[in-house]
Structure 1
Amino acid sequence: MQPIVHPSRLANVAEPLRDDEIHVWMLPYDRAERRRPLLALLAAYLAIEPSGVMLREGPYGRPALAPSHRSTLDFNWSHSGDHALVALAHGIAPGVDIERQRPRPNALEVARRFFSSDEVTLIADAPSTRRAQVFLDLWTAKEALLKAHGRGLAFGLDRLSVVAGPASLALRRFDGEDLDHWQLQRLALGHGFAGALAWRGAARQVRLGRLASIA
């Protein structure tokens, strides 16, 4: 998916979303707008006005389309700083996370409190100049997995383990889950952000695009 640079073309971004695809959009975000960018993007995929998008929350707070839409479309979104990510797919529940890259002098301390022991070792063994990046790679991967799982952070960050390599992410442990049923991908976001996408199900083509505006 090529970047979309013309802000008036939001209505055209919802090109056919095939059952073997996941669309991921990176877009500008202002906290004051709350869910407006998300609703606008969902409306484009549903071919309705944003005011007609109805959401419900699951038992652990994950938003989803209300049953009244009678759609197989599912989504997840995340925001950090002035950018957001929205993942959309049919028939699966994607999980996505974005985090702004910045110095994190307490990365190892946070990992020791919340991560698995092998992840702590991975961070501790990283060069000091790489520690914050390794931490973010693991954090975004774990967040994406837990959001796709449906329980979110309530499930426990230490109940799954991820290995972050220079070019890929690998799931090594997920309590109560069959690892063969899970997919995990790093997202090449650029612009000083780290991101990850996860879902339970067969491999799919991930199409990543950028919106200059949701106006």
Structure 2
Amino acid sequence: MHAIHGFPPAKVAEPLRADEIHVWRLHRPKGTGRDPLLSLIARYLGIEAADVRLAENEHGRPRLDARHGDALDFNWSHSGEQALVALARGVAVGIDLEQRRKRANALAIARRFFTAEEADWLDTLDEEAQRTAFLELWTAREAVLKALGRGIAFGLDRLSFRHEANGLVLQQLDGDDPAAWHLSSLDIGTDALAALAWRGAPRCIRTFALADDE
């Protein structure tokens, strides 16, 4: 789970190559709903935001309506007033963003929903490190499940991660080959954690922050 550093400001969506994943950091004020997401997707489609149509798969994962073709996939996550959007061509992506906040019961949650090995690892860490590691495990799970097209109802204990020097690596995923997956952490500052996941060939991850005047 390699960290990606920096979200340089940008105003215009650059061409999205087949070997890339673009990740945008957006400001999402309360009450704006999906408007920031639709506005960004419209830039890639070359249409007006009002003309973007979304649909959902059988598990509720948002996707572009069939009228837009199947070349562009996206996924998004929001927490507080910020959001992250991942876009790719020819591969399903999953992204998750979580604000840092104290969870007095983080270990108890891990014991209930994560694997025993993951919970045991968390139990070896001090309080601050444990909170960070818990969020890393949570965002990694969400990212993989969203890329898979499933939600947490799939079962949080049906996938597991191991901690290596460079971060988390997908170790097990029921019904799938974990070696076929890629997982990256996204460095978005000290107030939140985020993870990006996809199944398939390695891709170049490019990060952007939508300029304030856009």
TM norm. shorter chain > 0.5: yes
Aligned to 2:3: none
Contact (CA 8 Å) 1:137, 1:164: kept in 2 or not? Answer: no
Q: Distance in 2 between matches of 1:141 and 1:2?
A: 20
Aligned to 2:8: 3
5 Å-filtered alignment, 1:144-155, equals 144-155=143-154
Q: Does 1:189 align with 2:188?
A: yes
For residues 123-153 of structure 1, give each alpha carbon's deviation from its aligned partner in whole angstroms, at most 9, with x where no partner exists: 1111122110000000000000000011111
One-letter amino acid of the counterpart of residue 41, structure 2: L
Q: Does 1:143 align with 2:137?
A: no
Contact (CA 8 Å) 1:58, 1:64: kept in 2 or not? Answer: yes
Contact (CA 8 Å) 2:7, 2:25: kept in 1 or not? Answer: no
In the TM superposition, residue 4 of structure 1 has moved relative to its aligned partner by 1.3
TM-score (norm 1): 0.92
Q: Distance in 2 between matches of 1:44 and 1:209?
A: 14
Aligned to 1:77: 76
For residues 183-213 of structure 1, give each alpha carbon's deviation from its aligned partner in whole angstroms, at most 9, with x where no partner exists: 1111111141100000111110111121244
TM-aligned CA distance change 1:118 to 1:214, over 3 Å:
farther
SS where residue 209 of structure 1 aligns? Answer: strand
In the TM superposition, residue 31 of structure 1 has moved relative to its aligned partner by 3.4
| Structure 2 gap segments, 5+ residues each | 1-5
- Size of the aligned set, in residue pairs, is 209
In the TM superposition, residue 119 of structure 1 has moved relative to its aligned partner by 1.0
Contact (CA 8 Å) 1:162, 1:172: kept in 2 or not? Answer: yes
Could you tell which deviates more after superposition, 42-51 or 185-194?
A: 185-194
Contact (CA 8 Å) 1:27, 1:213: kept in 2 or not? Answer: no
Q: Does 1:33 align with 2:38?
A: no
Q: Does 1:204 align with 2:203?
A: yes
Between Structure 1 and Structure 2, the one with more strand by share is 2
SS where residue 140 of structure 1 aligns? Answer: helix
5 Å-filtered alignment, 1:45-194, equals 45-165=44-164, 167-194=166-193
Q: Distance in 1 between matches of 2:31 and 2:178?
A: 38
In the TM superposition, residue 29 of structure 1 has moved relative to its aligned partner by 1.4
Q: Distance in 1 between matches of 2:190 and 2:211?
A: 13
In the TM superposition, residue 86 of structure 1 has moved relative to its aligned partner by 0.2
Could you tell which deviates more after superposition, 136-145 or 25-34?
A: 25-34
Q: Alignment identity in percent? A: 50
For residues 63-90 of structure 1, give each alpha carbon's deviation from its aligned partner in whole angstroms, at most 9, with x where no partner exists: 1011111240000000011110100000
TM-score (norm 2): 0.93
In the TM superposition, residue 164 of structure 1 has moved relative to its aligned partner by 3.8
Q: Distance in 1 between matches of 2:175 and 2:89?
A: 24
One-letter amino acid of the counterpart of residue 8, structure 2: P
For residues 104-127 of structure 1, give each alpha carbon's deviation from its aligned partner in whole angstroms, at most 9, with x where no partner exists: 211101111111111111111111
Aligned to 1:44: 43
RMSD (CA atoms): 1.6
